Amino acid sequence: MSALVVVGSLRSPKLEAVRRALARLGGLAPDLAAAEVEGYDVGSVAPEMPLSLDVLLAGSRARAQRALELARERGRPARLGVGLEGGLEVRGGGSDRRAFLMSWAYASDGRYGSHGCGGAVELPRVLIEAVVDQGLELGPAIDAFAGERDVRSRQGAWGVLTRETVDRATSFETALLGALAPFYNPVAWAEPGD
């Protein structure tokens, strides 16, 4: 029976990111590379539009923990719970204000957990104004910016801003590979005397 990895989301780019990250583990962690991935609707565990690193970290952690709880309640004990959270880190003010779109992941076995980041891309001023000043969620703002519908379910703001050299799933895949490192490279995290 293969391991189960539960994800605190039902969104296709997030589930695809988890599948791709796990597949890349191959010989490093064969049980994870072959794991079954199952998404869960974890409800509102984070704001619709995280606007700080602290909120991104807390949101990814809450998603992973809630997915583990839901799996346990349904009699599906999971090897790992994964939470993926995207949002902004806003820095400075006035004409010096900058905002960075970031993707964060948290992986937990219920006892130990770790975060990883999928990088950052700076937002154009027009998007900063729409999201930070006008209070729009990034999904509708990037739809208007790109002249498309439901961008977040496909390439995401990452894809629009990087002309699809990095899409939403890729940014989350990178974040998850970092968060999973203690699970596929436990020697690096071993405490002295272990």
Give tens-digit pLDDT for 46-84.
888 889 999 999 999 999 999 999 999 999 999 999 999
Percentage above 90 pLDDT, the chain = 78
Instruction: Tell me the C-alpha distance between 128 and 145, whole Å.
Output: 11
pLDDT at 1 (0 to 100): 67
The confidence band for 88, taking pLDDT boundaries of 50, 70 and 90, is very high
Cβ atoms within 10 Å of 121's Cβ, excluding its own: 16
Instruction: Tell me the C-alpha distance between 184 and 136, whole Å.
Output: 39
- Output the pTM of the full model: 0.92
pLDDT at 182 (0 to 100): 96
The confidence band for 22, taking pLDDT boundaries of 50, 70 and 90, is very high
Instruction: Tell me the C-alpha distance between 117 and 102, whole Å.
Output: 7
Mean pLDDT of 91-105: 92
Instruction: Tell me the C-alpha distance between 69 and 116, whole Å.
Output: 21
**Residues 143-158: tens digit of each pLDDT:** 999 999 998 888 889 8
Check whether 194 has a pLDDT greater than 80: no
pLDDT at 46 (0 to 100): 81
179 vs 48, higher pLDDT? 179
The CATH class for the domain spanning 4-123+167-189 reads: alpha beta
